[in-house]
């Protein structure tokens, strides 16, 4: 009996694809299956970003200057857990976490140090931040103003995707409805004040990291995107304006061909979703996305093997037409990446971009019987899940009912069972293991960072105009109970040196915390 081979999403792979699948339109035109630009990388390579942030703003600033010297084209900021969930570094809840998984940013002064010597008008910055995304964006805008930058030229992205936090990751603060209000406030304000800023990066990355397969990652991410479109339309925003500033953030795993198919299907599906909701401008129908190689695919055993995994995932992202890419360090299953690991990760992108020929033609795998059929199958299975979510009332309702969380949990459990039963081979883990394993040097952050940040906060509170601070916080408190856009008030507050924790706490008072 012939062996059945499946992708992680359960799609059966035929031994031979003999029937040609009709070619889609040309790249750069609806529904963008083959890419959002007619010439793709022949004109310009994807933006090579490296995700970095740790310890204090000073230490992260040194890493950014190093990465820029090595050829990165854009920065991508990792924030520590207290910053992500709205606590200043001296808050009791921050103990043991300050500076550990990202950089600690408590105030505008920290943001100034983080970007010292870096012109915000000249660099594109991505910030992986959600519940407090509006505050970090305010810090960034306030700093740009201090630098004398033209806000119309500032470019970058805040992740700002709270729905996937409820479903897969957990760094939420407020209930869903006020959280969605913050997001639409950002859409509206940025479309006027910082029109080149990507106001949301709708994230499948963390959905995949939580255990979803490729089809689920695609379906749940686009369902969330659909919810954001509808929320903005309900606020009276024009889809042909705000949809141009939406971007996506996907994961790249090891199954090269399924990942390429996923990216191609994502563009096609999003084009139809936006058009059905009224988008007529082609730029509002385009799915633009950042990719990060799969953190959950990295192994602590034989960590150098991860260099090869990241190379395969880099190929998947670039063959799939990503607009920007972060490649993980080989040692990230053990610690934050060392400088050497970060350099190898960046060089992986550069070798693929400049030496492999991937960039020489548009959509290199188009017309492959296998890839075209797989693209159609991934799309079909993803639509099935989206239709289920629509029947529940949309992504917010599906999350509140626990549907998305349950689907991810089932997929994660199945995958782990396959590894333990040796049905799924992970090199160095359940096959081709090595007894003489030597752990590489790892990068550690000590707990003294909290002492440094706490002293900095105390000094700031003594030096600033505390009457102006209280007035700014009171204005946010009052506006939170109305439909007034909060963004200009938050920018004003951070300019008066209100801290991230103080602004977060004011809104906790008004809206409560989601449990």
Range scoring the smallest mean pLDDT among 281-295, 361-375, 463-477:
361-375
E strand or H helix that includes residue 268: helix 256-276
Give the mean pLDDT of the chain: 93
Give the pLDDT of residue 19: 59
Give the pLDDT of residue 13: 79
Tokens of 400: 């509140």
Domain that holds residue 266: 40-359+367-428+440-447
- Give CA–CA dist 175/162, Å, rounded: 10
Which is more confident, 261 or 50?
A: 261
What is the arithmetic mean of pLDDT over 289-297? 96
Residue-wise pLDDT tens digits, 339-357: 899 999 999 999 999 999 8
Determine, yes or no, domain membership for 455: no
Task: Decide if pLDDT at 21 tops 60.
Answer: no
Determine, yes or no, domain membership for 470: no
Give the pLDDT band (50/70/90) at residue 55. Answer: confident
CATH of the domain at 330: 3.20.20.240
Determine, yes or no, domain membership for 479: no
Q: Who's near 462: CB < 8 A, 6+ residues apart?
A: none
Give the pLDDT of residue 22: 56
Number of domains present in the structure of the chain: 1
Give the pLDDT of residue 2: 67
Give the pLDDT of residue 8: 86
Tokens of 4: 């059945």
List the Cα angle 304/308/311 in 5-degree steps: 135
What is the arithmetic mean of pLDDT over 433-451? 77
Determine, yes or no, domain membership for 488: no
Determine, yes or no, domain membership for 415: yes
- Give CA–CA dist 35/15, Å, rounded: 28
Give the pLDDT band (50/70/90) at residue 405. Answer: very high
Give the pLDDT of residue 20: 56
Give the pLDDT of residue 435: 81
Residue-wise pLDDT tens digits, 82-92: 999 999 999 99
Residue-wise pLDDT tens digits, 356-398: 989 988 899 998 999 999 999 999 999 999 999 999 999 999 9
Give the pLDDT of residue 56: 86
- Give CA–CA dist 96/74, Å, rounded: 30
| Virtual torsion, Cα 312, 318, 323, 325, nearest 10 deg | 20
Is 269 in contact with 379 (CB distance < 8 Å)?
yes
- Give CA–CA dist 51/56, Å, rounded: 15
Task: Decide if pLDDT at 153 tops 90.
Answer: yes
Determine, yes or no, domain membership for 515: no
């Amino acid at each position: 009996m012939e062996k059945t081979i499946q992708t992680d999403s359960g799609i059966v792979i035929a031994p031979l694809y003999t029937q040609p699948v009709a070619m889609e339109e040309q790249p750069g035109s609806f529904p963008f299956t083959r890419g959002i630009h007619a010439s793709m990388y022949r004109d310009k390579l994807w933006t090579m970003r490296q995700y970095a942030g740790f310890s204090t703003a000073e230490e992260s600033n040194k890493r950014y200057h190093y990465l820029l010297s090595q050829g990165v084209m854009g920065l991508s900021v990792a924030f520590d857990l207290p910053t992500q969930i709205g606590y200043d570094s001296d808050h009791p809840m921050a103990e043991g976490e300050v500076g550990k998984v990202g950089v600690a940013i408590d105030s505008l002064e920290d943001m100034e140090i983080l970007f010292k010597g870096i012109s915000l008008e000249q660099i594109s910055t991505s910030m992986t931040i959600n519940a407090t995304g509006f505050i970090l964006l305010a810090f960034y805008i306030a700093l740009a103003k201090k630098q004398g930058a033209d806000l119309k030229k500032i470019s970058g992205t805040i992740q700002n995707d709270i729905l996937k936090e409820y479903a897969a990751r957990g760094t939420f603060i407020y209930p869903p409805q006020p959280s969605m209000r913050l997001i639409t406030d950002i859409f509206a304000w940025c479309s006027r004040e910082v029109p080149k800023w990507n106001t949301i990066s709708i994230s499948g990355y963390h959905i995949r990291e939580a255990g979803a397969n490729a089809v689920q990652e695609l379906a749940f991410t686009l369902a969330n995107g659909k919810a954001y479109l509808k929320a903005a339309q309900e606020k009276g925003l024009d889809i042909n304006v705000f949809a141009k500033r939406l971007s996506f953030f996907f994961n790249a795993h090891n199954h090269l061909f399924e990942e390429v198919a996923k990216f191609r299907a994502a563009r096609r599906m999003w084009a139809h979703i936006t058009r059905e909701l009224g988008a007529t401008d082609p730029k509002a129908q385009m799915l633009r996305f950042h990719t990060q190689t799969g953190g959950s695919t990295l192994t602590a055993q034989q960590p150098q093997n991860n260099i090869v995994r990241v190379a395969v995932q880099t190929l998947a992202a670039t063959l799939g037409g990503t607009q920007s890419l972060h490649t993980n360090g080989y040692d990230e299953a053990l610690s934050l990446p060392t400088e050497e690991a970060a350099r190898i990760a960046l060089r992986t992108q550069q070798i693929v971009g400049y030496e492999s020929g991937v960039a020489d033609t548009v959509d290199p795998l188009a017309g492959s019987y296998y890839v075209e059929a797989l693209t159609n199958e991934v799309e079909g299975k993803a639509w099935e899940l989206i239709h289920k979510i629509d029947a529940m009332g949309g992504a917010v309702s599906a999350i509140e009912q626990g549907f998305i969380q349950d689907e991810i949990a089932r997929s994660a459990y199945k995958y782990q069972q396959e590894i333990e039963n040796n049905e799924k081979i992970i090199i160095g883990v359940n096959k081709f293991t090595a007894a003489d394993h030597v752990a590489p040097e790892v990068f550690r952050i000590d707990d003294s960072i909290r002492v440094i940040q706490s002293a900095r906060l105390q000094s700031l509170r003594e030096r600033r105009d505390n009457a102006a601070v209280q007035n700014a916080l009171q204005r946010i408190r009052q506006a939170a109970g109305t439909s007034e856009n909060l963004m200009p008030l938050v920018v004003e507050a951070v300019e008066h040196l209100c801290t991230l924790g103080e602004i977060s706490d004011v809104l906790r008072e008004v809206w409560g915390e989601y449990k």
